[in-house]
Chains A and B, each alone.
Chain A
Amino acid sequence: MSSTPKPTSSAQTSGAARLLQRQLKEMSTAKDLPGISVGLLNENNVFVWEVVLMINDDCKYYGGAYFRAHLTFPPEYPHLPPKLVFQAPVPFHPNIYASGELCISILHPPEDDKYGYETAAERWSPVQTPETILLSVISLFSEPNDESPANLDAAKLLRQDRAGESKEFRRRVRKCVRESLGED
């Protein structure tokens, strides 16, 4: 007597799709998310989001910037983490690869320990939401983490800047912030 109208093969995918659809709607109607705006890159694919992060002016290095990124979710979401890739101009940041991919511990799946130095406590958990991810990303712009650099140059220059030895980091960051605002 059982009837399942939907093919079970897509059950997981459709579950993730529904979850994402809901979260997208919640986030685009939320009023308490200053500086974050989200939307779909392609109307028909709820698994790829386009994200715009407007960094607060108080932020030390990146204040005023206007960064665009793509947030790509796997079909296994929320059990596996999404991937965040910044679009050109890629921010000059110790935790962002030159390709634009973001390296942040909460987006690393719990099982693959290729980085070796993270404890499981810092990695992905299914209770994370796009909202918590993006808030973490924004805080990463306020406090870049030079412990596990994805961009070695940036990390080195950041340390020099913190030590007061060189202003090169500031200059490079300002340049990419300017670019993100559409200046030449």
Chain B
Amino acid sequence: MPPPNTPEEGVVATNTSSILALRPSMSRDGGGDGGGGGGGGPSSAAAVDLRLLEYEDAVDENLICPICRVALVGPVITNCDHVFCHRCLVQAHALNPVCPVDRLPLKLVSETRPAPKIVQNQLDNLNVRCPNHARGCHLVVARSLVENHVTRYCDKTMVPCPHPSCEHTVVRNDVGKGCLHYDVQCEYCEGNMLKADLEIHQDQKCPNRKKDCELCSAEFVRNKQEEHMKECPEVEVSCKYAPFGCTQQMSRKMAEGHGEKCDYRVVGPVGEQLAELRSELTALQEKDRMKDRRIKFLENRGYTLPASNATEAISDISLPESSTNADMAPYESRDQYFLSLFETMESKVERLSSALAEVEGRHSMMLINETLQIKDQLTEIRSTLGVLGMHVRWLMNFRLQERGRVGAGSPAMPGSLAGNQQGTSDPNLPRRLSDTMREHPPRL
């Protein structure tokens, strides 16, 4: 045991004492609760070891000591902001004077302090079961109150025997009965024991204490009640074909007769076979999994080696030659090498074909996308073309009519722009401008 004590450890009396109390516990594993509440915890003369408690609900991860992994007891916080049980930190610090989480050097006294009140309160509010629940107290209570409950109120707490010269302890419930620590003989099995233990003995352990079954009037040893229930002929049981769907309930002795005419008896043997097969199946699956691993492993090996000389692996012709060099050493035989080579090739081809399929798919997708757009544009163009044609036809008609009218006045050439503009009336002017532009292309 190295006690690399920092000089600061001796400064505060409470801490020194708890360290001293704990150090032997590291080597001999003695004296557990020396520093119960040094960091501000409520209990210093712990009647209840808070770390033995069972918590009713799951405890928030943030309230759990990273060392002992139960809800913090007497939480202390370090200057590097890590929280521990006071006792856990002291024990860890005695072995290694650093913060257990970040391993920065830590001075136990000057660099730690009790955790904030809010943490304490949250811990106090955790619900725990009474530590006497094994003796029959089923109370669930806030952690801060459990000690009070156990030391003052719980009927099942062990307390010193009221008799002044007796050194035994007794359940608080029985204190009023005087000292129960005298030898008595069990009336059933003739074993000797203390009076205090007699009741439990007779209830649970005595091999001779008999009891009549309420159902079948057979007599059985009292502590064997559960076993009797398994064979008592009057107990209600379900049909032996219940797993296959029979819902009938009847006493055990009737079940025998029912079994022979149960509607589900046909299914029974099939079901049994099914169960057998199922167990066989799981065994096989297990085997299969192991085989799979082996196969995978072998495949990997077959693959990694040719890949190590990947440049050669590209051309098929050069590969067989590489079998003569040192790379083939791990293979026991030439056949095996070729087999693995073949496998590699096969897997490569497979990969290539899948890649090819993918590329093909992508290409056709792209093609469709592109052509769709082009088609759209094409129809658009076609429709504009149609509209244009209509316009042109309408204009041509218009022009022809006009020419017919104007032609009566001036039979000279109406084709020139100036002539047109001069010759026509005002309302037609804007249309005629665009008209000329449309008429130009065919002339060009």
Q: Interface on A for B, CB 8 Å cutoff? A: 1-6, 8-13, 15, 18-19, 22-23, 54, 57, 63-64, 66, 75-76, 78-80, 109-112, 120-121, 123, 125-127, 129, 167, 170-171, 174, 177-178, 181-183
- Please determine whether A1 and B151 come into contact, CB atoms closer than 8 angstroms: yes
**Chain A residues within 8 Å of B100, by CB:** 125-127
Question: In the assembled complex, which residues on chain A have CB atoms less than 8 Å from the CB atom of B2?
Answer: 111-112
Q: A3-B47, A11-B25, A64-B297 are in contact. Are A79 and B101 (CB under 8 A)?
A: no
Bound form: Cα–Cα A178–B4 in Å: 47
- Which residues of chain B are near A57, meaning CB under 8 Å? 296-297, 300
B290 lies within 8 A of chain A by Cβ: yes
Docked-complex contact B158 and A79, CB < 8 angstroms: no
A interface, over-half SS:
loop
Q: How large is the interface on B (under 10, 10 to 19, 20 to 34, 35 or more residues)?
A: 35 or more
Determine whether the beta carbon of A79 is less than 8 Å from that of B91.
Answer: yes
Asked if A121 and B47 sit within 8 Å, CB to CB, the answer is no
Contacts of B296 on A, CB cut-off 8 Å? 57, 64
Q: Are B51 and A8 in contact (CB under 8 A)?
A: no
Neighbouring A residues of B47 by C-beta, 8 Å: 1-4
**New A-B pairs, 20, CB < 8 Å, besides A12-B26, A12-B29, A125-B103:** A3-B157, A8-B30, A9-B29, A10-B29, A11-B31, A11-B33, A19-B69, A63-B297, A78-B67, A79-B26, A111-B4, A111-B95, A111-B96, A123-B96, A125-B101, A126-B67, A127-B101, A129-B69, A167-B327, A174-B330
Q: Mark B30-53, 1 if CB is under 8 A from A, else 0.
A: 111100000000000101010110
Known: A120-B96, A126-B67, A182-B290. A11 touches B29 (CB 8 A): yes
In the complex, are the beta carbons of A9 and B297 less than 8 A apart?
no
Contact check, A78 vs B68: say whether CB atoms are below 8 A apart. yes
Determine if A76 and B88 form an interchain contact, defined as CB atoms under 8 angstroms apart.
no
- Cβ contact within 8 Å between A15 and B31: no
| Given A1-B47, A3-B169, A64-B293; A110-B300 close (CB under 8 Å) | no
Query: Which 4 residue pairs are nearest across A and B when measured between Cβ atoms?
Result: A11-B32, A64-B297, A110-B96, A12-B29
Q: Given the known A-B contacts A127-B66, A183-B294, are A79 and B32 also in contact in the complex, defined by CB atoms under 8 Å? A: no
A123, B103: Cα distance in complex, Å: 10
Tell me the complex Cα distance, A18–B131, Å. Answer: 15
Q: Judge if B92 is at the interface, Cβ distance under 8 Å.
A: yes
B98 within 8 A of A: yes
A46–B211 Cα gap in the complex (Å)? Answer: 39
Tell me the minimal C-beta distance from A129 to chain B in angstroms: 8
Give the CA-CA distance A78 to B103 in the complex, in Å. 16
Q: Nearest Cβ distance between residue B158 and chain A, in whole angstroms?
A: 4
Contacts of A171 in B (CB 8 A): 329-330
Q: Check A64/B26 contact, CB under 8 A, given A12-B32, A19-B69, A183-B294.
A: no
Shortest CB-to-CB span from B178 to chain A, Å, is 19
Chain A residue contacts of B66, Cβ below 8 A: 126-127
Note all chain A residues with C-beta closer than 8 A to B301.
174
Residue numbers in A under 8 Å from B91 (CB-CB): 79, 126
Given contacts A3-B157, A78-B68, A183-B294, contact A13 B103 (CB under 8 A): no
Cβ-based interface call for B12 (8 A):
no
Task: Give the docked Cα–Cα distance between A80 and B288 (Å).
Answer: 41
B69 touches A22 (CB 8 A): yes
| Closest B residue to A8 using CB positions | B32
Interface pair B92/A126, CB less than 8 Å apart: yes
Contact between chains at B294 and A181 (CB < 8 Å): yes
B326 at the interface (CB under 8 A from A): yes
CA distance A2 to B46 in the complex (A): 8
B29–A110 CB distance below 8 A:
no
A183 CA / B31 CA spacing, docked (Å): 52
Q: How far, in whole Å, are A182 and B286 apart by their CA atoms in the complex? A: 14
Q: How far is the CA of A50 from the CA of B92 in the complex (A)?
A: 27
Q: How far is the CA of A181 from the CA of B293 in the complex (A)?
A: 8
Q: How far is the CA of A13 from the CA of B30 in the complex (A)?
A: 9
Contact indicator B45/A125 (Cβ below 8 Å): no
Contacting pair A64 B300 (CB below 8 A): yes
- CA of A181 to CA of B299, assembled, Å: 14
